[in-house]
Structure 1
Amino acid sequence: MKSTSTLLKSLSTENLDNDKGLKTDFPEFDQFTGGFKLGGLVLINGRVGMGVNHLTRCLVLNTSIRCKNSVGVFSLYQSQETYLLRLLATEAGISFHDLKRNNVSDANDMVKTAKELIAKAPIFISDAMSFSVQSIIAEVQEGIKWFGVKIVVIHGFNLLTDNTFCGISRYEELDRVASKLKDFAIYNDVTFVITHELPEMSSPNDNQEFCPTIREIYDDLSLAKYANLVTVLYRPEYYGIKTWPRFDESTECEAELRIVKNRNGNLESFRLFFDGYRSRFHEVGDDRYRKQPFTPNA
């Protein structure tokens, strides 16, 4: 426990540091949260098909290219080359499948520009073959030392293991993994951004939505209790819901990023535009992007 006097002193220091968060280049989100706080865990959730990994790759591109933050990526489901191709396709504004099949003759200039930007960006993609939290932490330490890594993205948290314990349940093992990542983040001033997909729902909840609740996230993943910021990505269009209940506006090509836990502030939601062809998310009110979806044959 701490006295109110001690807390007030630390609160004054925190207020001075509000502008030192790691920006994501999602303007309204950054203004509301101040960016990702160093020493924290950020959890990005969504059901299968919502585009959690697409959103996270947009975040990687935004924060590294446009905000100059050094990012380390552990994609336990994909090779370095595949992950890089997906980044390149999103930044170039073309389909990943077209890029992979070299079907990009009309978009060479966009690909060339994207390659130049990504080549200069402080993005470091791991090729680690071990899924132990000890090996992840060791590699992040090297990234901090040599490249000044500040944000660490992990796709595939559920695959991580802890080699120091045996005879415990899988849930307990992941809880220990989460605790070690949290401690490491605090002591090394880095932010972990972790993606998590929840199973499908067969019927809507009491609010006539298919969006996960904070209770469901806590029950599904013990990491949530260690996270400073827990978000949920929700695309009602995926479920055939054509209008936003609260706005009475079309859900076409739109999503919502909801903050359902925030240890540093209030809860909020942000409307996003989703371009499925480009696998690109941006805020609906961001004037730098057109809301109209891209049509490949137009």
Structure 2
Amino acid sequence: QSDGITGVPSGFTALDRITGGWQKTDLLIIAARPGMGKTAFVLTIARNASVEFNRPIAVFSLEMGALQLVNRLISSEAELNQDKLRKGQLQQFEFVQLNERIKKLAKAPLYIDDTPALSIFELRAKARRLKEQNNIEMIIIDYLQLMTAGSEGKGNREQEISLISRSLKALAKELNIPIIALSQLSRDVEKRNTASKRPMLSDLRESGAIEQDADMVMFIYRPEYYGMDQDEKGQPTKGRAEIIIAKNRNGSLEDVPLRFIGQFAKFADLDYIESGQTMYNAQSGIEPSNEFLAEGQTQQSFTMPSKNWDEQNLLGGSDIKKGDPKNDIDDINDNFPF
């Protein structure tokens, strides 16, 4: 393509320039220690691909429930505090802002399955059906170590993880789509007696097979998390993250700087704030914009009924079905795509 993006775009300019988008048949591992923002990062990727580029994306969440993920997505999209959304406590301009900003998200082809302890065989069956019915273009799994190998997982945990990673690579080739799987890192990262806590391939937890099977391995690194004011290059760390490409079978190994917006659990290009997009949040110290109010109106607060942030009102009448999480993915999003 003329823009150099031949795969599913991540929505991050610098990252897409290196990868050309997530490529078909690739198994991509994104790993980090807890608290680095693994789920926030892949949710941002899923949102960018489905909302901005209309690519059908499936997210298999083994750790968080579907409603938790939707709450995060809405908070990120509308740039509103998650706690206020959960409690239904919004100022008038925030409520208007919410309804305006989630319109595109509500129409996005984003599918979430939150079946717990998913086996590789269950995942394969669900993925095949999603590919057939919705022509999904990418799968995201959060996260690999929570999967099971089913009846074939008779060895130790390392052998089981090896079987899962091999099966994910085979599934990516079968469906001809990229698969992104999150992975944990071992505690060795924090045990290092060095100023830097940058992860390495040897830190991948439970199996060297993950490194072998993956076409690309990326680490999320936020020096700010470890209390560092400056990184190894002397750059300020506040609100910054690095995506470290530690393995790239078909390209170069580089570090991609991104902005981490913790209050909305999202990642963005470094120039995001400077580009003129304003974060509307009462706790941020930034005054709300009057563009969301009719002429002559003043700021007011009101409390909405709290029932898991009253999804009927927040989502404009859309119905997220919250049945047994073991049911098929249709039980989550018959009428609402995510």
Give the TM-score normalised by structure 2: 0.77
Q: Is contact 2:119-2:150 (8 Å) kept? A: yes
Q: Which residue of 1 aligns with 2:20?
A: 34
- Give aligned pairs, total: 282
2:265 is aligned with what amino acid?
Answer: S
The separation in 2 between residues aligned to 1:234 and 1:266, in whole angstroms, is: 18
Tell me, yes or no, if structure 1 residue 190 matches structure 2 residue 185: no
Deviations 1:209-259 (A, max 9, x none): 11211122276563222111111111111111111222x221111111110
Sequence identity, in percent?
Answer: 23
Q: By how many angstroms is 1:288 displaced?
A: 4.1
Q: Is contact 1:273-1:291 (8 Å) kept? A: no
Q: By how many angstroms is 1:153 displaced?
A: 0.7
Tell me, yes or no, if structure 1 residue 108 matches structure 2 residue 75: no
Q: Is contact 1:45-1:196 (8 Å) kept? A: yes
Aligned CA distance change for structure 1 residues 183 and 44 (closer, same or farther; 3 Å): same
2:264 is aligned with what amino acid?
Answer: R
Q: Which residue of 1 aligns with 2:237?
A: 251
Q: Which residue of 1 aligns with 2:43?
A: 57
The alignment partner of 1:177 has SS state of: helix
Among 223, 236, 260, the alignment partner of 2:210 is: 223
- Structure 1 stretch displaced more, 280-289 or 153-162: 280-289
CA RMSD of aligned residues (A): 2.5
For residues 1-298 of structure 1, what are the structure 2 equivalents within 5 Å? 19-105=5-91, 106-129=93-116, 131-200=118-187, 201-204=189-192, 206=194, 208-217=195-204, 222-246=209-233, 248-286=234-272, 288=275, 296=283, 298=285
Give the TM-score normalised by structure 1: 0.87
The alignment partner of 2:102 has SS state of: helix
The separation in 2 between residues aligned to 1:149 and 1:195, in whole angstroms, is: 19
Q: Is contact 2:63-2:146 (8 Å) kept? A: no
Aligned CA distance change for structure 1 residues 174 and 202 (closer, same or farther; 3 Å): closer
Q: Is contact 2:63-2:143 (8 Å) kept? A: yes
Please list every run of 5 or more consecutive structure 2 residues that lacks an aligned counterpart in the other structure.
286-338
1:90 is aligned with what amino acid?
Answer: S
Q: Is contact 2:63-2:116 (8 Å) kept? A: no
Deviations 1:245-277 (A, max 9, x none): 22x221111111110000010101111111111
Q: Is contact 2:62-2:117 (8 Å) kept? A: no
Please list every run of 5 or more consecutive structure 1 residues that lacks an aligned counterpart in the other structure.
1-14
2:168 is aligned with what amino acid?
Answer: L
Q: Is contact 2:61-2:141 (8 Å) kept? A: yes
